Amino acid sequence: MIKTIEGVIEAILYQNKTNDYKVIIVNTSEKDLVCTGFFMDIALGQEIQMSGKYVQHIQYGEQFEVKSFFKLKIKTTIAIQKFLSSGLIKGIGARLAKRIVNHFGDNTIKIIEQDPLRLSEVVGISKEKAKNIYDQYQNETELRNVMLALGEYDLSPAIVMKIYQKYKSQTLFTITKNPYQLAIDIDGIGFVKADEIAAKIGIQFDDIERVKSGILFSISEFCLQGGHTYCPQTILCNNTSELLRVNLDQVRLALEELLFKQELFLQVYDETSVIFLKSYYYREQYIAQKLLLMANYSEKEDKDQEWNFEAEMAQTEKELEILLVTEQRDAIKNALTNGVTVITGGPGTGKTTIIKALIHMLNKKKEVVLLAAPTGRAAKRMSEATTFEAKTIHRLLEISFTQSLSTEKNSVKQFFNKNEDNLLETDVLIVDEVSMVDIFLMDAILKALAGDRRLVLIGDINQLPSVNAGNVLKDIIDSQKVKVIRLEQIFRQSQKSAIITNAHKINLGEYPIFNTKHTDCFFIQEHSQEAVKNTVVDLIQNRLPNKYQHLDKKKDIQILAPIRNGMLGVHELNIALQDALNQSNDNTFEHKKIIYKVGDKVMQTKNNYNLSWHIKSKSGLLLEEGTGIYNGDIGIIKNIDKCEKCMNVVFDEKKNVVYSFKNLDELDLAYATTIHKAQGSEYPVVIIPLLNVPYMLLSRNLLYTAITRAKKMVIIVGIRDTINRMVDNNREIHRFTSLLYHLQASI
């Protein structure tokens, strides 16, 4: 039976310097106890808390075999300073905490406990304040002990407070028993940090709790990095073994326990054992079940003997002044009658026209229709193209947030108000840019739709898949379980655009054509990183604005890079472009190595539905206000107020948003962005630096996605060989997903 004992190290009888195994004597409240185990970084006089069990040694008698231990008294002045500045004692900030520790050093806690009036020796502390500090110190005994005990483990006071709120009086016991529980329960602590803590408190490297936590970390990282929804068992075991430096048998034993407790799921696909995170498995299973349920629903064309599709279609063409081709008419007919319809096609194939005609006919049938897209920019484009309101999927489903202190991670959690118990009030839901939709969003969409409603999914199968887990659009199309309309005809007005014709060439494995007369596709050859970067900067700073006076350097031209790091990555390009386009240094603010200036082009990097905005007239009259700035939204910094610790950013040339300096993690420079980040957006002019692209990114669909972000002009700077290699590489980066299996397995 595991017991927990506290005491002070009296002697170290034996130590193995290669692995920190020690035999020590610990003075407890009852007796001196011989303890054995792996003790890292301990010293005589150290007060510790140990978890373990009593054993009877044949030669030496009773001993306490330590499984893990925890140092109870802080050892460093850094830890003392961190505790004092944690906010637990009101009136002591970071500067005062530093002065106190500089004055009293290692004796700081002793002074507070035994002679608190001496605190008045420190500049800024009166005797009355010293007494107040002592009173606060005494009042929060339990939390104080936790703060002091965890002070040496490089945890911020905010994280320590989260830990305490979760475990209360059991905090030290829980961490001593299994520090890896932190990675499960506490947002902000992952496996790496938990493993550091475990090493410091003496958890053995092959402890089964460490191996189990390592497995969960490995599969989470595998799915997160690759967009997978499961991991082949062999890969998972090998990755974990390499990460933890333990043998495969130990990994397999820990995996068996996780499977037995249903923390992970095992399935066999094509005679290969694969492992799922529970939430991923259930989501793909539900998506398949709900899609098949909805696909089996269909509506008679001639219900009530009043609806004549051909006649209504002809009338719609007349009223909208359009002429639809056969595949467009098929798409509309299927969307009107089938429970689930997928419409896929590249640029210039008439997807927008289909949506407009479909909405028109649904309105004539007096049916309620809702429009949605994964990102704010995609929803805005959808609204502008159709003249009907489109919302982000998150906004449509009414995203909300709650503070969670459950068995899940202790953090702010998001949920949707529209769900199985509060369905969307619609007859038809049309979702655009579905290639960007991951399993989490598709699961939420389907939960909010009644089974007898219709769902129209529109997307370009040749674009990049979602950033997060899943390959939803491709899996649905490949399953052949729902009606799919493929749009292949490029319309006459689109044939005049080299952007569109080159995009289709790329899809067919043909090399794009540049620099022809009256073209909108250009290629500039440069062979070095420095030359490519200089050319990109010169294009946006001089050549394009000088030739096309109507172009705005910041609003109309976007750099799309395949990578983040390196000279031609997003970070370096943003610095170079900022220096070229915004040379003023009068009003700046630095946050995490990013220097923000008034006039900078910036991008919101995550959906923030609670961020307030307002629109005012030139005279200052409030015209409109609301909440919500979305991932990919681009704005210009108008003011930086260091006194108020905030900056003003204007989006869409009208929405004014105030960012606290604390919230700048959501804001990045946007002169350049990644191709992945640009998906769902369009820009008048796109410049793409392509030189030495990493092998994993030499793909046809990455080049295709980049080119199709441009509305009026695209310029590639680099070497032709890179373009050709991307076109030649039709190898899709494989994603391990199970949606296709679930769809095809259902009868």
pLDDT tens, 283-309?
Answer: 999 999 999 999 987 654 445 445 788
Q: What are the tokens at 690?
A: 């392509």
Distances (CA, A) of 670 to 284, 541, 708: 34, 15, 19
Check residue 301 and give its pLDDT.
Answer: 44
Q: What is the DSSP letter of 419?
A: B
Q: What are phi and psi of 416, to 5 degrees?
A: -110, 130
Q: Yes or no: say if 545 and 522 are a contact pair by the CB < 8 Å rule.
A: no
Q: Yes or no: say if 439 and 472 are a contact pair by the CB < 8 Å rule.
A: yes
Q: What are the tokens at 353?
A: 């026209």
Check residue 496 and give its pLDDT.
Answer: 76
Check residue 648 and give its pLDDT.
Answer: 94
Task: Give the Cα separation of 246 and 239 in Å (integer).
Answer: 11
Given strand 390-392, what is the order of strands in its sheet?
390-392, 369-373, 428-431, 454-459, 340-345, 483-487
Residue (of 590, 533, 522, 598) closest to 559 by Cα position: 533
Q: Yes or no: say if 106 and 54 are a contact pair by the CB < 8 Å rule.
A: no
In sequence order, what are the residues at sequence separation of 6 or more whose Cβ sits closer than 8 angstroms to the Cβ of residue 271? none
Q: What are the tokens at 214?
A: 């390592």
Check residue 714 and give its pLDDT.
Answer: 96
Distances (CA, A) of 75 to 41, 81, 152, 600: 11, 11, 8, 46
Task: Give the Cα separation of 579 and 682 in Å (integer).
Answer: 25
Residue with tokens 């329960």: 185
Q: Are strands 264-269 and 411-416 parallel, antiparallel or unpaired?
A: unpaired
In sequence order, what are the residues at sequence separation of 6 or more whose Cβ sits closer than 8 angstroms to the Cβ of residue 442? 283, 287, 470, 472
Task: Give the Cα separation of 725 and 717 in Å (integer).
Answer: 15
Check residue 406 and give its pLDDT.
Answer: 43
Task: Give the Cα separation of 362 and 364 in Å (integer).
Answer: 5
Q: What is the DSSP letter of 404?
A: E
Check residue 407 and give its pLDDT.
Answer: 41
Check residue 300 and give its pLDDT.
Answer: 46
Q: Which residues of the chain carry a pLDDT beneath 50?
A: 300-302, 304-305, 405-408, 410
Q: What is the DSSP string of 443-485?
A: HHHHHTS-TTSEEEEEE-TTS---SSS--HHHHHHHHT-SEEE
Q: What are phi and psi of 682, to 5 degrees?
A: -135, 150
Residue (of 326, 398, 324, 376) closest to 355 by Cα position: 324
* Distance, C-alpha 706 to centroid of its chain: 21
Residue (of 12, 1, 58) closest to 37 by Cα position: 12
Q: Yes or no: say if 342 and 476 are a contact pair by the CB < 8 Å rule.
A: yes
3 state SS of 222:
helix
Task: Give the Cα separation of 359 and 461 in Å (integer).
Answer: 23
Task: Give the Cα separation of 214 and 244 in Å (integer).
Answer: 7
Amino acid occupying residue 334 = N
Check residue 296 and give its pLDDT.
Answer: 87
Give the chain's domains with CATH numbers. 3-71 (2.40.50.140), 302-491 (3.40.50.300), 510-728 (3.40.50.300)
Whether the full predicted model's pTM is greater than 0.95, yes or no, is no
